[in-house]
Chains A and B, each alone.
Chain A
Amino acid sequence: MTPPVLKVSGLTTRFRTGYGTVTAVDGVSFTVGRGETLGLVGESGSGKSVTAMSILRLVAPPGRVEAGSVELNGVNLLSLDEEAMRSRRGTQAALVFQNPMTALNPVFTIGWQMGEVLKAHGRGDAGGAAIQRALADVGMPDPQRQAASYPHQMSGGMRQRVVIAMGMLNEPQLLIADEPTTALDVTIQAQVLQLMKKLTHDHGTALLLITHNMGVIAKMCDRVAVMYAGEIVEEAPVRELFADSRHPYTRGLLRSIPRIDQPRGQLPTLPGAPPDMGALPVGCRFRDRCAFAQERCKAHPGLLEVATGHSTRCWVAQDGTSLANAPARRPEPAHAL
Chain B
Amino acid sequence: MPFEPTPPLLQLDGVVKHFHIRAHAGRPAGLLRAVDGVSLTLAAGETLGVVGESGCGKSTLARLIVGLLEPTAGTIRINGGDIWEAGAAGRERRRHFQMVFQNPAGSMNPRRSVGASVAEPLWARGNRNSDDEVARMLALVGLNPKMAARMPHQLSGGQQQRASIARALIANPALVVHDEAVASLDISLQAQILNLLVELQERLGTSYVFISHDLAAVQAIAHRVVVMYLGEIVESATAQAFADRPRHPYSIALRNATLLPDPVLERNRPDLVLRGDVPSPMNPPSGCRFRTRCPLADARCAALAPVLRDTGAGHLVACHFPDAAERLARRASHIPPAPARAQAIAC
Which A residues are closer than 8 A to B by beta carbons?
43-44, 139, 141, 155-158, 185-191, 194-195, 197-198, 201-202, 212-219, 221, 238-239, 242-243, 252-254, 256-270, 273-274, 333-337
Contacts and interface: CB of A to CB of B under 8 A. Distances in A.
20 contacts: A187-B253, A187-B257, A190-B256, A190-B273, A190-B346, A191-B347, A195-B342, A215-B258, A215-B259, A215-B266, A242-B264, A243-B264, A252-B188, A254-B261, A256-B187, A256-B191, A263-B219, A263-B239, A269-B195, A337-B144
A337 B187 contact: no
B162 A335 contact: yes
Interface in B52-78: 53-54
A263 B186 contact: no
Contacts of B221: 264
Given A157-B277, A198-B342, A264-B219, A257 B191 contact: yes
Interface in B222-245: 222-223, 239-240, 243
Contacts, number: 182
Given A195-B346, A267-B220, A201 B258 contact: no
A141 B346 CA distance: 12
B257 A186 contact: yes
Given A187-B253, A273-B158, A259 B142 contact: no
A39 B275 CA distance: 26
B346 A191 contact: yes
Nearest to B218: A258
A147 to B, nearest CB: 17
B267 interface: yes
Interface of B: 53-54, 141-144, 156, 158, 162, 186-192, 194-196, 198-199, 213-217, 219-223, 239-240, 243, 253-267, 271, 273-275, 277-278, 293, 338-339, 342-343, 346-347
B194 A186 contact: no
B142 A266 contact: no
A43 to B, nearest CB: 4
Nearest to B221: A264
A197 to B, nearest CB: 7
Contacts of B259: 213, 215-216, 218-219
Contacts of B275: 191
A267 B257 contact: no
Given A219-B259, A273-B189, 10 more contacts: A187-B254, A190-B346, A191-B347, A214-B261, A216-B259, A253-B187, A258-B194, A263-B239, A273-B188, A337-B144
B95 to A, nearest CB: 28
A218 B342 CA distance: 18
B162 A187 contact: no
A266 B197 CA distance: 10
A264 B267 contact: no
Contacts of B273: 187, 190-191, 194
Nearest to A254: B261
Contacts of A188: 53, 277
B186 A197 contact: no
A197 B264 CA distance: 17
Nearest to B217: A258
A218 B262 contact: yes
A169 B150 CA distance: 51
Given A43-B186, A218-B263, A266-B198, A260 B53 contact: no
Given A267-B195, A336-B142, A260 B260 contact: yes
Most A CB within 10 A of own CB, among B188, B220, B221, B277: B188
Given A190-B271, A194-B346, A335-B192, A264 B239 contact: yes
B66 to A, nearest CB: 24
Given A257-B187, A270-B188, A335-B192, A239 B220 contact: no
B254 A266 contact: no
Contact of A190 (B162, B257, B339): B257
A224 to B, nearest CB: 9
| 6 interchain residue pairs of minimum CB distance | A335-B142, A215-B259, A139-B347, A258-B220, A214-B261, A256-B191
Contacts of A239: 263-264
A1 B264 CA distance: 27
A195 B263 contact: no
A258 B219 contact: yes
Nearest to B147: A337
